[in-house]
Structures are given as C-alpha cells and as structure tokens.
Amino acid sequence: MSDATVTLQTWLATGIVLMPVLAGALLFARRESNAVAGLVGATGSGLSLALIVWLLLERAQGVRVVWEWVPELQVVLSWRLNSGTLAIAALVAFVGVLVMQFAGAYFGPSAKGRRAIATLSLFEASMLGLILADNLFMLFTFWELTGLCSFFLINTDADKRDDTFAAAQQALVVTVGGALPMLLGFIYLASVGSASLTELYALDLPIRAQTIAFLLILPAVLTKSAQIPFHFWLPGAMAAPTPISAYLHSATMVKAGLILLIYLFPVCGGTPLWTLLLVPIGGVTCIWGSYRALGQDDIKLLMAWSTVSQLGLMTLTLGLGTDLAIRAGILYLFAHALFKAGLFISVGGIDHAAHTRLLSKLGGLRENTPALFWFALILSGSMAGLPPFAGFLSKELVLEKLTLAAPLVHDVAVIAIVLGSIGTVAYTSRFFFGSFTGSPRSEEASKAHSPGLGFLSAPAVLAALSLVFGIGAKWIDRWFLEPVSWSLVGRPIEAPHLALWHGITVPLVLSAGIVTFGWFLYRRLAGRGLPPGPEALSGPILFENFLSLSRALGDRLSRALAGASPSVYFGLVLVFGLMWSVPLYGKLGDFFTHQWNFGGSLVLFVQLLAIAGLILLPGRLTRVLLLSVVGFTVALLYRLLNAPDLVLTQLLVEVLTAVFFALAVRFIVTQESPSPIGLSSARLAVAVPLGLAGAALVFALDAEPPDPRLPDFFLEAAPTIAKGLNVVNVILGDFRGLDTLVETVVVILAALGVGGLLRRERSGRETELKGSFVVRQLTRLILPLAIMLALALLLKGHDAPGGGFVSGLSFAVAAILGFAAYGTRSFRARIPVEPDRIAIFGALILIAASVIPMVMGEPMLTHRHGTLSPLGAFAIKWSTTLFFEIGVVMAIAGGLTAAAMRLWEMTNTRRDGGI
C-alpha cells in the first residue's frame, strides 16, 4: 500500500469523527430553525457514513496514526480500521442520520432543539471516536466524552422537569465514574503490554494480567451498558427527549460497554472470570429487565427496561467467551440497534400523535396512524424474535451457541435467556397491542392524528432494514457477519451459515416455546401491572444509598473530627507519632546505669518544682512566671552543656517574652481561668508516654556514635578562615550568614505582624502611662548599663559569646525599659528615629552587606579582618562582619521595640469613653 493511500485513509478516518463535530460547531454558532438544524446534523452524520463506506470499499485495514498527542503518556491519536470497526461506526452514523432528521421534526419550534442537535452531533463524534480509536487512552477519552455529552443531553429538559438534573447527574456519575477504573485497567495494560489495541492483539498476556485488566475494566462495561446493579440510570435517563433516548439509550452509547467487551475479547478473554462474571450478571439483568418492562405503563419506560433486558442478553452471550458467541453477540448488537432505535422513534411518534405515552390511556391507534402501525409491527416482531425479522435470526444464533458452552454455564444461560425472552414476547405484545389495537382508553388517543413524514421516515427505514436483515440471511452472513466478526475477533471463525430455516433444531423448538409462553403470559396479565419487586433491584436505591451514606458519613465525620477542638486531633497525631517510638522504651533503663551529675540534678529539681507548680497552682500570672522559671532552668542546662551562647540568648529571650506578656497581659488572661489546671487522666495518658519516648530518644541519641566529620570540619575551619574564635558566632555570621539573614527577617516579620494586627486609628484623647519617679530614677541608672552591655556584646561578639542577636535583644530590653519608664511620647522625642524605621534601616544594611561585595565583584558576605587598637592596650579585633552584625542589631532591636510600643500604646492608652 502506498504512502499516499495511507495518508488519504488517515484523513478519511479523521474526517469520520470530524464531520459531526463540524455540524455541531456550525449549529452552536448559527441560529437555525430546528428543521434546518436536523438537516445539518443529518448531513454531518451522512458525510461520516459516506466516508465510512468509502473506507469499507477501499478495504482499509490497519492502524492510521494521526498525531503523537502526548507521547510521554503513550497517548496517540490513531484509528484502527478494519471491516469490524468500520461496520460498527457505520451503524452509529447511519442511526445518527435517522435520529437527527427525526430530532429536527420532534423538537418542532422549541428553542432547545438546535442546542440538543448540536450536542447530539458532538456525542456522535465521540461515539465514532470511541469505536475507531486504536489507542486505549484515546478510547477512554472518547468514552468519557460520550458520558459528558449525555449529561448535557439528558439535561435538555431541565427547566421543565425537576428530576431531570438528578437523572443526568446519576447517569454522569455512574457512567463516567464507572469508567475511571477502566483507565487504570488501560494503564495496566499499557504497562504490561501496549497502549495500542492492535499491538495488544499480537501479544499473549499471562492469565493473571488478563484477570487484573478485566476486573479493572469490567465496571466500565457494566455501568455503561446498564447491567445490574448499575442499570438504574438508564430508565432514569428517559427524562431526556425521545430522539436522545433513541440514539443514546438504545442504539449507541449503551452499546459502548458491549463494543468494549468485543474489542477486549482477544486481549483478556482468556481469564475464567470472563465467563464466571459476565454470564450471571447478564442473565440476571436479562430476566430482571424483562420483568420490569412487563410492569410499565409508560411505553418509553417499557422500552428502556426492555433495553436493559436485551443488554443483559448480549452481555450474557459475549460472556460465553467463544468465537461463535462473539459472532452471535455482534449480530444481535446490530439487530437490536435497528429495531430498538425504530421502536423508540415510534414511541416518539405515538407520543406526538396521542399526546400521551401511558398504556392506560392509549389504544386503537391503528385507525389513525396506519403507517406507524405497520412499521411498529415489523419492529416489534423483530424485538420479540419472530421470523422472518432480524431479531429472530440473532436470537436463534444466540440459542445455538448455548449448545457449545460448558454444561453449568449452559444451564444458567439457557434459563436466563428463555425466561428473559418469554418476558420480551409478553411486553412486546403488551406494547404493540396496547397501543394500536382495541379501543382508545382516553380522549387524546381517540383524537390521535397521524404524525408527519419527519416522524415516519426513520421507523420506515429501520423496519425495512430489519426485514431485509432477516430475509437476506444468506447475504448478510457472507457480506456482513463473516468479515465483521472475523476482523473483530482477529481470526477466521468456523461457523455454520446463517439461515432462517435450519430444519427442526433445538433452538427452533426453544424459540417456538418462548413465543407460546410469552403470548400466554401476555394474555394472563392482560394489562395488569406488576409489583416493582425488591427495591434493591428496581431503582437507583444503590446510588441513593451510596450518596446518602456518604452524606451521613461526611456529616458525622465533619462533626466528630473537624468540629473537635485541636486538642483532640493534636492528641491523635501525637498518638500516631507515639507508635513509632515503642521500640525505644528499652533505652529507659539507662537512667540507672548512667552517672548523675550533681549540678544538673539540682537544676532538674528546680525545673520539676516549677512545672509542678505550673500545673497545680492557681493563678494566671503564676503560670507565666513559672514558665519563665522553667526557661531559666533550661538556660542553666545549656550552661552545663557547654553552650554559653545559648545561655545568653535564652535568658534574654525569657526576659523579652515576659515583657511582652506583661504588656499584653490585660487582654490575654481574660479568658484563662485562675483555678489550677489540675490533672486529667486522658491527657496524661497521651503526655506521659510521649515524655518517656523523648527521654528514651536522648539515650538512644547518646548511644549513637556520632560521625565527627562535619563538626570537625567547622571546628577546624573556623579559626583559620574567619579569624574568630567563637565558633558558634563564626558559623552564624560567616558560614551561615544566609541563615542569620533569614532569622532576622523572621523577627522583622513578627514585628510587622504585631504592627499590622494592632494598627489603629489615632483618634480621641490619649492619656499616657509612664513609670513612677523611683522607676524613672532606677531606669536612669540601669539604662546606660544595658546599652553598654549590648554594645560590648556586639563588639566582642566575634570572639566571645555575644554577637548581633543577643546584642539586639539587649538593646530591645533597654529600649522597652526606657519607654516604660518615660512614656512612649517622650521616648519617641528622645530617640532620633522611629524604631520601625530603625528596623528597616537595619534590614537595608543587612541587604547591603550581602549585596555590595557582590557589586564589587566579590562574594557576598565577604569579610575583611584586622585589629584596631585606639588605646594600644584595648585591642578590638574588627571585621567587616561588624556591619552585618550592626544590621542584625538594628533590625532586631528596632523591630522588637516597635512591636512592644504598639502593644504598650494599645494597652495603656484609652480613648474618650474608655474601653
């Protein structure tokens, strides 16, 4: 085959899908009358059909890649062309032509028609794509698109009926949701084999893989093809206008599941679960659908349930899992599409003619609508499986296959099919005779008029085809069934030829029995309804239960978990963390083997007292004071751990925290009860084991031989490189300058936050609080000392404990002391710049110290070193790190002071009228 042919065929195949899209787009864009819209839609489908026929005539075969869409995910837009896929596509496009034309007539002058037909065209395109796609992921995408389109289509009448949205949502969730596991199945197939159907056919997957893939894909089949227990959405979807039901819910969309089964048969038909699951499910669906159809009054619902039943029959047939069964399934699929679409459209005609669809009001339509009567007769005959129509041929073939299946499966299948078919005969009779014969049971029915040509042409064509299909069995077999089923199964199938008359055979006897019993059943029931049966089977109960269960669960969870106080879920998290530390509890024995250090024990004792007091003593302020005491004991522990920097920082932090608390205390303690916190066993049950785990961890960490490389690296590098002896500071200032920068920013942020929170409108007379005379005198003494200390810490920091942080903290303490004593107004008057601006300048210096060396072509935070000795004896080692440190000091001191002032002003000034 030449390249040009391949390219041509690629474009032709793409055109098949594109034509309806164009029609849909055109209709969305232009306001046309419904009749024109129907014509446009039908033309789109017709063009598709023409292209399909063209490709069929060319005997196109193989994969045509259009576009490597998402190669990373193996998503490729490609078409799988063979007589099988093309024939199914032809069926869809052909019914499409008829339905679009019918829809144009059906919608009359209604404003919704154009949009519905446009969406219907898009749906058709998705359906054609689904059928022709070779890539599994494209198949999935088209599959979901059909579901989405159906959602909008069912919603067409949402403004007229209340239950429409619920029905549409149900259909969407069930079919689109059911397809999600299929995606996993496809992903799985792609990972063990290939994402291309054609390539998968060439592989022979192990049974395990086949089973997993089948189980993942099965929900999609069952939901889309409305098998029990997912069947309920289909009768619900009858809320849609008739053309839509005729197309989606009889001929095409509901067949997608079966088409997928046919496609997948060569891939995972080998798993025993194929038969074990599909046959019973299909059987139950077949019987139950028949039973329910028998009890319906609304003929459209009757058709819906009958569709459920026949879908079950087809699932069962395909489930038999032999080449011959697949062949029979394919034939039934075509036959069913023809008669069911015709019947649905006839129902639309009846509705249009008699303005009712209820059997209790219909009757005697033959008089006024003779044409419809004849078409419906042929179509009903086909559905009931009477010779010489298509339905008979296909049912015969199905029954024939049963003789070839395993014994047990055979029994189950025969019983199901026979029962289902008896029902079919009965409800078909009920529909047909109830509508057309007897006398009219309502005024509307008696005044029925014959529907126009738009309503009649589609049933006419479909009825004719059903007839031709049956009579021309021999040619159908040769020119249609054989090539189609061979190419779909991927190998030739040895099968007896189709014929209307095989002589007296078991299937024929069964058929005769079915018709007889069916007729008998119809006569016995004679128009009486049937009880709807167990709820679990009859309605969307499963779906609703699922939904309401989810709701109830969500409500409960939402109250129980989200509504709980954080203490509950903190507890939960902590218990979760606790589980991990269980293996460490053994370490606790080390308490008795290690030497206790005397000073440490003393500190510990104080800490114990403070914590006990914190929990057991009354008083809100006591708590905060004792917290400070605990902080001091921790500082002492730092001292014992040889971390003098931490001691200083910790002490200053404790002081500052206490100061801030004191500033905000009036507001903070209002809700806190002064009575002791006391002990509660539930909380202790979480807290004590966690505390023990912490202690055990300390021992475990001690036992771990530390890898000395990293610390030694720092220790060795510090004196030589940065010329400083205080390793911690050197690390902070030089190695981890960036970290310091970040920390400083953090403090500025907190200060900003305080400022932002307490931003206030300046209004009213403000009275200011300041310290007493004694306090002011004391401050006068302490303040210079505090500032000196801060300066010393800053300057000596590079060698001795200190540095920017602590220095900044000391400055902040000094400043807070200052404004507490003198009042903020006079404090402001005495300092040159507002504290928050000092903070900003500090931040700027920090940035500059980092960026300027860069501008000068040197690394950031480059530092120069030297010794400055203004008095000879008192040598200060200087380093450009100093600038950096000054920046830190300014930022921290400024930020904290500004924050403290805000708090102070908020708590200590009143507006007129007071708080």
172-211 mask for other proteins (x: CB under 8 A)?
A: xx--xx--xx-xx--xx-xx--------------------
Residue type, 402: L
| Inter-residue contact 907 to 663 (CB < 8 Å) | yes
One of 604, 782, 791, 852 touching other proteins (CB under 8 A): 604
Position among 637, 814, 849, 882 found at the interface with other proteins (CB under 8 A):
637
Q: Is residue 407 at the binding interface for other proteins, with CB under 8 A as the rule?
A: no
- 303-362 residues in contact with other proteins (CB under 8 A) are none
| Contact region with other proteins (CB under 8 A), list: 105-113, 322-330, 410-418, 895-903 | 895-903
In the complex, the smallest distance separating the C-beta of residue 216 from other proteins, rounded to whole angstroms, is 7
Q: Which residues pair with 135 in a beta bridge?
A: 196
Stretch that binds other proteins, among 41-49, 475-483, 660-668, 819-827 (CB under 8 A): 660-668
Looking at beta carbons only, is 666 or 830 nearer to other proteins? 666
- Is residue 695 involved in binding other proteins (CB under 8 A)? yes
Q: How far is CA 210 from CA 196, 275, 798, in A?
A: 15, 13, 72
Q: What residues numbered 57-116 form the site for other proteins, per CB under 8 A?
A: 69-73
**Considering the rule CB under 8 A, would residue 773 count as an interface residue with other proteins?**
no
Which residue, 141 or 511, has its beta carbon nearer to other proteins?
141
> Of residues 377, 611, 625, 791, which one binds other proteins by CB under 8 A?
611
Give the binding-site size for other proteins (rule: CB under 8 A).
Answer: 192
**Quick one: CA torsion of 295, 297, 303, 305, rounded to 10 degrees?**
-30
String of b and e for 715-727 (b: at least 16 CB within 10 Å)? eeebeeebbbebb
Distance set, CA 837 to CA 258, 748, 812, 889, 899 (Å): 75, 11, 14, 13, 12
> Whole-number minimum distance, CB 630 to other proteins, in Å?
7
Residue 493 lies near other proteins (rule: CB under 8 A): no
Q: Given the complex with other proteins, which of 597 and 777 has the nearer CB atom?
A: 597
Map residues 139-178 to x or -, x wherever contact with other proteins holds by CB under 8 A. -xx--xx--x------x--x------x---x--xx--xx-
Among 438, 539, 619, 631, binds other proteins (CB under 8 A): 631
Neighbours of 324 (CB within 10 A): 20
Among positions 561, 617, 769, 831, the unique one binding other proteins when judged by CB under 8 A: 561
Among 66, 464, 542, 634, binds other proteins (CB under 8 A): 634
- Judged by beta carbon, residue 36 or residue 728, the one nearer other proteins is 728
Give the nearest distance from C-beta 481 to other proteins in angstroms: 35
The least CB distance from residue 363 to other proteins, in Å, is: 37
Nearer to other proteins, 109 or 706 (CB): 706
Residue from 58, 298, 590, 768 binding other proteins (CB under 8 A): 590
Amino acid (one-letter) located at 532: P
**Binding string, residues 705-734; x marks residues near other proteins by CB under 8 A:** -xxxxxxx-xxxxxx-x---xxxx--xx-x
Q: Which of 262, 393, 448, 663 binds other proteins (CB under 8 A)?
A: 663
Whether 867 and 878 have beta carbons less than 8 Å apart is answered as yes
Q: Give the E-state strand segments of 771-910 in sequence order.
A: 865-868, 876-879
CB atoms within 10 A of CB 202: 11
Tokens of 590: 């080390």
Does residue 889 contact residue 807 with C-beta atoms inside 8 Å?
yes
Residue 10: how many CB atoms within 10 A of its CB?
19
Minimal distance in Å, beta carbon 44 to other proteins? 21
Between the alpha carbon of residue 209 and those of residues 75, 187, 723, the distances in Å are 21, 12, 68
Alpha-carbon gap, residue 704 to 423, rounded angstroms = 79
Q: Is 695 exposed, middle or buried (0-12, 13-18, 19+ CB in 10 A)?
A: middle
Residue among 565, 681, 763, 772 that touches other proteins (CB under 8 A)? 565
From residue 806, give the alpha-carbon distance in Å to each of 630, 721, 781, 831, 841: 20, 24, 21, 21, 19
Contact 129, 142 (CB under 8 A): yes
Query: Which of 304-312, 478-486, 492-500, 858-866 is the region at the interface with other proteins (rule: CB under 8 A)?
Result: 858-866
Query: Contact with other proteins (CB under 8 A): which of 699, 811, 819, 822?
Result: 699
Residue 763 found at the interface with other proteins (CB under 8 A):
no
Residues in the chain: 915
Amino acid of residue 109:
P
Q: Compute the least distance from the CB of residue 723 to other proteins, in Å.
A: 12
In angstroms, the CA 133 to CA 444 distance is 48
- 529 sits in the region (left: phi over 0; alpha: psi -120 to 50; else beta) called beta
Nearest to other proteins of 220, 358 (CB atom)? 220
Based on CB atoms, which residue is closest to other proteins, 304 or 662? 662
Tell me: does residue 477 bind other proteins (CB under 8 A).
no
Query: CA-to-CA distance for 751 and 527, rounded, in angstroms?
Result: 84
Q: How far apart are CA 476 and CA 488, in angstroms?
A: 16
CA–CA separation, 816 vs 904, rounded Å?
9
- 302 lies in the site for other proteins, by CB under 8 A: no
- The smaller minimum CB distance to other proteins, of residues 3 and 704, is found at 704
CB of 236 to other proteins, least distance (A): 16
- Sketch the per residue contact string, 223 through 252, with other proteins: x for CB under 8 A, - otherwise: ------------------------------
Q: Least distance (Å) from other proteins to the CB of residue 402?
A: 34
Contact call for residues 715 and 602 (beta carbons, < 8 A): no
Question: Cα separation of 463 and 389, whole Å?
Answer: 9
Phi/psi at 870 (5° precision): -65, -30
In the chain, the largest separation of any two C-alpha atoms, in whole Å, equals 129
Q: Which of residues 798-857 bind other proteins (CB under 8 A)?
A: 800-801, 805, 836-837, 840, 843-844, 847, 850-851, 854, 857
Query: For residues 94 and 469, is the Cβ–Cβ distance under 8 A?
Result: no
Least distance from C-beta 725 to other proteins, angstroms? Answer: 5
Minimum Å gap between C-beta 313 and other proteins is 28
Q: Write the binding mask 520 to 559 for other proteins: x where contact by CB under 8 A, - elsewhere.
A: ---------------------------x--xx-xxx-xxx
Please select the residue that binds other proteins; options are 506, 536, 572, 769, rule is CB under 8 A.
Answer: 572
For other proteins, give the closer residue by CB, 222 or 362: 222
> In a 3-state reduction of DSSP, which class is residue 452?
coil
From 223, 235, 232, 315, select the one nearest 277 (Cα to Cα): 315
828 burial (CB, 10 Å; 0-12 / 13-18 / 19+) is middle
Among 754, 794, 813, 817, binds other proteins (CB under 8 A): 754
Q: What CA–CA distance (Å, rounded) separates 789 from 884?
A: 19
